[in-house]
Chains A and B, each alone.
Chain A
């Protein structure tokens, strides 16, 4: 019961962050434009990532939690790569706020992904031990 509640909170939290971040990218927020210019992906890359973020936010609220979580983990991995190779740990001197947020969302989405891995399309059933064989 408590576990269920925590998972729902995690879902809502990650979904809100992802949808919000996607919204900022799609509506051409100044900070986003700056980051994606630095990455050399302006504006197509920003639009693609923005759409993927909105999609993962919606998926997390739908029954397809596993897919949404997988997408989120993927986007977060991309973000880590961006920080590690191009942007640096505290862009604009935010004292690592973005990195902390990133770590929080990544951890939450990994938890969600692990819990719901059985529902992943195509490969989900291979990731859980089938405790009982049915004939």
Chain B
């Protein structure tokens, strides 16, 4: 509006738009509350004593407002605007729910979009998972797909899946799995009692093994009779000496348990590589404190590494020691960091002629019950790139056939799982997939003991709703449906067994170039 002065004199500018001045609204409200107190008192005296119910309520409200505006020093908004500022906090507090229910699109939520979650729910409920009209994902750089074959495997030529751990090392107690998915490490502690039992019973139904997580003696995992992979975390809960070293007798005793079929030594975890396990104090009950041998009332933070593993040679020696004591197939779990270190580890294995029975590669996108945000978001190599690098190192060193590779890290659907298997995994772990099968709604409160669906909480009023029997059926359904998807996709790729898969079976989109 930079007309000449004479034009401005002609045109009178009239603003007819209404708007709310929040600043003034708050000031008026606060003054109004104060005036209302006296008005109500006057009405109480002049009209009816009943008005004094209102007088007392207004008195409290004014006192509260005074405290927020004049006494507390934490929140500027509260200090400046009082009562009305709380509206901002109230609305903000229900923001996640509103976004999830109403505003987030089916493909945009993280870690799992509604589409991904719905697919797990359908599998778990045994509902036909066909969909219409085409993929909702953008087939753009980053979205990896599987390459099919012109000549799919005929049904009669398909070979049932099976993998045997420990065969390379002539283990005394080799362990065979017949489905390509396993329940990944979730401790009692991270999960509540009913969730552990529902998963364990589901694993038993589906005939798949379940990893105990690093939560000490697996009391609840053992209740349902499924096969277990005992995870030894860096704090060695369940098999530790008071000094935090390996208690050989306890390990031997645990390994002697019929249900314990393999041992997994946890070096690092994708969600917090370079940092030990973390159990917030809110979730430490008396029983958990006993099972882990820790005290209540403070967070339990595991050390970032095993005291026995100071360098590459001692690490390899420690694996050998666990193999000897347990007599079971032994592997370790790690998130890939520097490749030179992994390479050195493999070379040391070759020189000592000691190999684990399996190695679990955990992608940086892996889940956790509690981890520092900076580690969750900022450290570690994602699963597909990690698998590719690891596979290359193993090939270069000529030890690809000396042990099995397992993959984990956001592998909740057959597509991602088969990509990992094409890059070298013999089987896949999933934790959050099975949590979704249990009824997880991605409320993201696993670290607060307030899980609304009773999975990651020890509050009896929250675990009450999680029925072990019916949820165990969903867990088994999910495992079976995934296995079915695997068979179908493998056949479409013209393969009979995941062993025949290779990186060539995966399509990694690149920026399309139109010149030849």
Contact = CB atoms under 8 A, between A and B. Distances in A.
22 contacts: A39-B49, A40-B48, A40-B49, A41-B49, A70-B60, A74-B57, A74-B60, A77-B59, A78-B53, A78-B56, A81-B44, A81-B52, A81-B55, A81-B56, A82-B49, A85-B45, A123-B64, A126-B78, A127-B67, A129-B74, A130-B74, A135-B372
B56 A86 contact: no
A77 B45 contact: no
B52 A78 contact: yes
Given A77-B56, A81-B44, A82-B52, 12 more contacts: A40-B48, A41-B49, A41-B50, A74-B56, A78-B55, A81-B41, A81-B52, A81-B55, A85-B44, A126-B68, A126-B72, A130-B74
B36 to A, nearest CB: 16
A123 B78 CA distance: 13
B50 A135 contact: no
Q: How large is the interface on A (under 10, 10 to 19, 20 to 34, 35 or more residues)?
A: 10 to 19
Interface string B74-117: 10001000000000000000000000000000000000000000
Main secondary structure of the interface of B (DSSP, over half): helix
B72 A86 contact: no
Interface string A46-79: 0000000000000000000000001000100110
Output the residue of B52, B55, B64 with the most chain A CB within 10 A.
B52
Contacts of A41: 49-50
Interface in A70-127: 70, 74, 77-78, 81-82, 85-86, 123, 126-127
A69 to B, nearest CB: 12
A45 B49 contact: yes
Contacts of A39: 49
A86 B52 CA distance: 12
B24 interface: no
B374 to A, nearest CB: 10
A39 B56 CA distance: 16
Interface of B: 41, 44-45, 48-50, 52-53, 55-57, 59-60, 64, 67-68, 72, 74, 78, 372-373
A40 B67 CA distance: 35
A126 B67 CA distance: 9
B144 to A, nearest CB: 34
A41 B44 CA distance: 12
A74 B60 CA distance: 8
A74 B55 CA distance: 10
B50 A45 contact: yes
Nearest to A48: B53
Nearest to A41: B49
A41 B74 CA distance: 44
Contacts of B68: 126
A-B pairs with the 10 shortest C-beta distances? A39-B49, A74-B56, A77-B56, A85-B45, A81-B52, A78-B52, A41-B49, A78-B56, A40-B49, A77-B59
Nearest to B46: A85
A77 B56 CA distance: 7
A42 B72 CA distance: 42
Contacts of A85: 44-45
A130 B75 CA distance: 12
Nearest to B44: A81
B373 A86 contact: no
A135 B44 contact: no
A127 B75 CA distance: 12
Contacts of B78: 126
A41 B49 CA distance: 7
B485 to A, nearest CB: 39
Output the residue of A40, A45, A81, A130 with the most chain B CB within 10 A.
A81
Interface in A29-45: 39-41, 45
Contacts of B56: 74, 77-78, 81
A34 to B, nearest CB: 15
A70 B63 CA distance: 13
A113 to B, nearest CB: 10
Nearest to A81: B52
Contacts of B372: 135
A1 B259 CA distance: 50
A93 to B, nearest CB: 22
A40 B52 CA distance: 12
A78 to B, nearest CB: 5
A130 B44 CA distance: 39
Contacts of B72: 126, 129
A26 B60 CA distance: 26
B74 A135 contact: no
A74 B372 CA distance: 45
A17 B48 CA distance: 27
A70 to B, nearest CB: 8
Contacts of B48: 40
Contacts of B44: 81, 85
B450 to A, nearest CB: 14
Contacts of A123: 64
Nearest to B68: A126
B54 to A, nearest CB: 11
Contacts of A130: 74
Contacts of A86: 49
A135 to B, nearest CB: 7
A135 B44 CA distance: 48
A51 to B, nearest CB: 13
Contacts of B55: 78, 81
Nearest to B90: A122
